[in-house]
Structure 1
Amino acid sequence: MAAKFDVVGIGNAIVDVISQTTDEFLAQNGLVKSGMALIDTAQAEALYAKMGPGLEMSGGSAGNTMAGIAVLGGKGAFIGKVANDQLGGVYRHDIRAVGVTFDTPDLTDGTPTGRCLILVTPDGHRTMNTFLGACQQLTPDDIDDDTIRDSQVTYLEGYLWDPPPAKEAFLKAARIAHEAGRKVSLSLSDAFCVHRHHESFLDLVAGHVDILFANETEICALYGTDFDGALRAVRGHCETAVLTRSEKGAVVLSGDDIVAVPAEPVEKVVDTTGAGDLFAAGFLHGYTTGRDLATCARLGAISAAEIISHYGARAQVDLKTLAAKKLG
């Protein structure tokens, strides 16, 4: 049956606040460079007060991926929780403005919309400090059965695999998708998430995931080995594994096939925020439009390269036109 959507993403609906900083600032504030930490309200307010001027924009990993799919010309939907507040309104407007369907009801219990304080050092690396807020209130009731059934791929964001109701929502979505003959995809999101949920992530990948996205650090953390060992370990646990390695490019495993693609050249790395999100967008756009694995990965590399060439995780050029030009 034809699908209404190419991909539906389920994840944290977060407003990003991006600020340039120094390695010294990170050290002075006890922040782990290139990592992601969950913070509470008091920590968020204290860090925000110390940060320099910030660029605010709608973000969240799965939200970024859905926006990328939309600007590539695909049909995307998003399921995530924002509050009935100013930032929630901004988030809803932004993601709909790029062409993504977002109809999850607002949270009205007074919990504010989530935000991520992103500190970018001169070498382009980003250190993320996330206040989840309303994101944590996603429940199975927010999973729209028809949207899942009407999507070729359901894409799950590992960052959200924390509150028990969100886990239940993920498993409900995966069950509905598979019953409808659709695919389920997961991004491991961050080594922090892998270490925090190691055993349950192993079970999730082996039992519910068809297409796995991970970077080198994440896949090695999942299987407790080096990259070559992780390649051997992941084979057979899911249908397709898409493993990114920054400047080393990416490796895609599917059955007996192994496809390696180089990283797309970038004149200068400005901000790595959203690189993995947009790689997933490019790959899934190729996948849902019937491209071969090498082309899917190349689309991912092209999309990621555009994102890391500027601040923020939303494309600043017409990705659809750029991809067509690069692919010839």
Structure 2
Amino acid sequence: MPSSDTPPDVLVIGGTGVDTVVRVDTLPVPLSDSLGVGPILEWPGHTGGNVALGCRALGLNVTLLDYIGDDWPGRQVRERLAAGDVAFEALISPAGTRRAVNLVDPSGHRMSFYDGRDPADLRMPRDAYLPHLRRARHVHLSIVNFARFLFDDIEELGVPVSTDLHDWDGLADHQREFALRADLVFLSAAGAGERIASVMREILRDGRAQAVVATAGAGGSYLLTRDGSSTPRPVPAVAPPGRVVDSNGAGDAYVSGFLYGRLGGRDLEECARLGALAGAHACTGEGSTALIGQEQIRAAQV
């Protein structure tokens, strides 16, 4: 693990938890009193944990700050991050560690039930995050509510910041501040559907982002930048290097690959291609465990 004296390339704030993965024959699940399923598995991760682990697997120095519970899921989170060589500084939340239940069909598609249990008044103390902000090359904010209160300090320090809005429809208030105050914005095309291009344009028009990326799974992704066309540029999907097992964490892996490229000085289109490589690789393992490494991503570019 990197020394505590090593400045983080990426400081991830928030977004850890434990997924319970249930494999089902089809989505949506038929209405029934009970259904037989395969082994039900527990995977620590969630979006912040997955981005941190993905960036670390690509050789970046990563620090993760978040609230977890003094509970069994919290111990799972600590163990997974330690095994992935991520520097994790945890604050204890009385509400406990976040959970999610993910239904996954044989093609790897999923439906997730997210337990956002943080109290609305939860805040991260400035002395817990400011020393890390002052040293970080880049900050990635998960869209947990307390993270929005870090934006003023991030902007004052001039640290580049990214965020993932997930399936934002362009309308819900919770994600809006994150959309308009981040320098690099990721979101899933699924949330806005046919309106995704206009949502991307609105983020650039009304916010400070230099680039907006919409991921579309097997349909690839779309990139919109301030210095390009007003039409999002398509970035082709990459064929997974093995059988598709689980799409959990694929979007987070995309973010990790993109940030790896960005911090390495690559242009935005090349960053999107690296994101696609990492996302495709992630689909070949269970529960966001298939993390692409530096050698693998370099080999895949040849």
Q: What's the TM-score bracket when you normalise by the shorter of the two chains?
A: 0.7 to 0.9
Q: 1:116 to 1:71 in 2, by over 3 A?
A: same
* Counterpart Cα distance in 2 of 1:132 and 1:205: 19
Q: 1:203 to 1:14 in 2, by over 3 A?
A: closer
Aligned residues: CA RMSD: 2.7
**Matched residue, 1:144:** 129
Gaps of 5+ in 1: 31-46
Please point out which of 198, 207, 212 is paired with 1:229. Answer: 198
* Counterpart Cα distance in 1 of 2:262 and 2:58: 13
Q: What does 1:177-188 align with in structure 2 at a 5 Å threshold?
A: 177-188=154-165
Please point out which of 183, 191, 205 is paired with 1:210. Answer: 183
**Matched residue, 1:242:** 213
CA contact (8 A) 1:13 1:135 kept: no
* Counterpart Cα distance in 2 of 1:97 and 1:78: 14
Q: What does 1:132-211 align with in structure 2 at a 5 Å threshold?
A: 132-133=116-117, 138-141=122-125, 143-158=128-143, 160-161=144-145, 166=146, 169-171=147-149, 173-191=150-168, 194=169, 198-206=172-180, 208-211=181-184
Secondary structure of the corresponding residue to residue 95 of structure 1 = helix
* Counterpart Cα distance in 1 of 2:104 and 2:216: 20
**Matched residue, 1:98:** 84
Q: TM-score, normalised by structure 1?
A: 0.79
The one-letter code matched in structure 2 to 1:270 is V
Q: CA deviation at 1:212?
A: 0.4
* Counterpart Cα distance in 1 of 2:28 and 2:221: 32
**Matched residue, 1:310:** 285
Would you say 1:65 and 2:68 are equivalent positions? no
Q: Percent identity?
A: 26
Would you say 1:292 and 2:295 are equivalent positions? no
* Counterpart Cα distance in 2 of 1:21 and 1:135: 32
Question: CA offsets, 1:167-187, max 9 Å, x none?
Answer: xx422x222222111112111
Gaps of 5+ in 2: 1-5
Q: 1:135 to 1:285 in 2, by over 3 A?
A: farther
Count of residue pairs brought into register by the alignment: 290
CA contact (8 A) 1:81 1:135 kept: no
Whichever structure has more helix as a proportion of its residues is: 1
CA contact (8 A) 1:15 1:116 kept: yes
Moved over 4 A (4+): 49-52, 133-138
* Counterpart Cα distance in 1 of 2:211 and 2:298: 25
CA contact (8 A) 1:113 1:135 kept: no
